[in-house]
Amino acid sequence: MAPSAEKASGRHKAVRTAAAGLPAMRFAAATWWAVAMAGQAAFGAYIVGTYGVATLTGRVATWNRVFPTGYVRDQPLANLIVAVHVLLAAIVACCGGLQLIPALRRHAPWFHRWNGRIYATVAIIVGLAGLVMMAAGRDLVGASQNGNVAINGVLLLACAVLAWQRARAGDFAAHRRWALRLFVLAAGVWLFRIGLASWIAINGGVAGFDPRTMRGPALLALAAGEWIVPLLVLEAYLRAEKARAAAGRYAVATLLVALAALTGFGVYRALIGMWLPLMLS
């Protein structure tokens, strides 16, 4: 074989080696995304079907069936902040996943840009409203979760701003990384709920926390996991994309398939145990 042909063959082999495992990892990521999209759509429908309908029909006091401090008489401003946080969360749940569809980015860039602007803006508003609620003692979660929820909220705000700045600067590689971090952090509230539903189902009932005060080690672990685990998995994915060895990509693909199954189980348990009963009552 001629030296030039040997060099060309070596380059092709290096390209194949570098790309090995990428299709499997991307397929696994798409599988998790599909499950997550279905779960977040169900969560968005729950928000609209309970809090949204109650608000439109003037029955805001019924918020307290699930959210004990959701509506408090003679506190109009605080009630408005709670309403903004809860109702706009439906937009966050429904818009985020659309940003991750490659076909939309390629064939409808205008939609990707405007949906991204809406998504980031609403995520910032929801995050700020949540932090104000906790500071005012109007949080839904118990004290054992507040610290981690606050960390999640602050990180969400930072990622939203950085994703926006990188897009405006034309650094789309960095924009993608920060936007993905924003997506997983904005899903924290949803992840906590499907994690809680899974925990209750696995234990055959409430375990590791007091449902009256919403305090306990199980809730502390779930609250920490809602931002630590997604960020770690995402970081593993981003690093595996750049790695030369294929082993890491196959490992991440396996992890994502397992997480897709766990996510599907959590969505199912939350749907039948939390969301549907309240929507239908």
> Is residue 11 domain-resident?
no
> Is residue 7 domain-resident?
no
3-state secondary structure of 139: coil
> Is residue 8 domain-resident?
no
> Is residue 202 domain-resident?
yes
Instruction: Evaluate whether 123 touches 99 at the Cβ level (below 8 Å).
Output: no
Domain that holds residue 219: 23-280
Classify the C-alpha dihedral 115-84-163-240 as positive or negative: negative
> Is residue 223 domain-resident?
yes
**DSSP H stretches of helix in the chain:** 3-19, 22-47, 53-56, 76-95, 102-107, 109-135, 143-168, 172-186, 188-203, 217-242, 247-270, 276-280
CA pair distance 74, 90, nearest whole angstrom: 26
CA pair distance 230, 177, nearest whole angstrom: 13
pLDDT at residue number 281: 77
> Is residue 76 domain-resident?
yes
Q: pLDDT tens digits, the chain, 281 residues: what are they?
A: 555 544 444 444 444 555 789 999 999 999 999 999 999 999 999 999 888 888 888 887 777 777 777 777 878 888 888 888 888 999 998 899 999 999 998 999 999 999 999 999 999 999 998 888 887 776 666 556 778 888 999 999 999 999 999 999 999 999 999 999 999 999 998 999 999 999 999 999 999 988 887 788 999 899 999 999 999 999 999 999 999 889 999 999 999 999 999 999 999 999 999 999 988 87
Domain count across the chain: 1
∠ CA 196-199-202, nearest 5°, is: 150
Instruction: Evaluate whether 207 touches 133 at the Cβ level (below 8 Å).
Output: no
> Is residue 1 domain-resident?
no
> Is residue 3 domain-resident?
no
pTM as predicted: 0.88
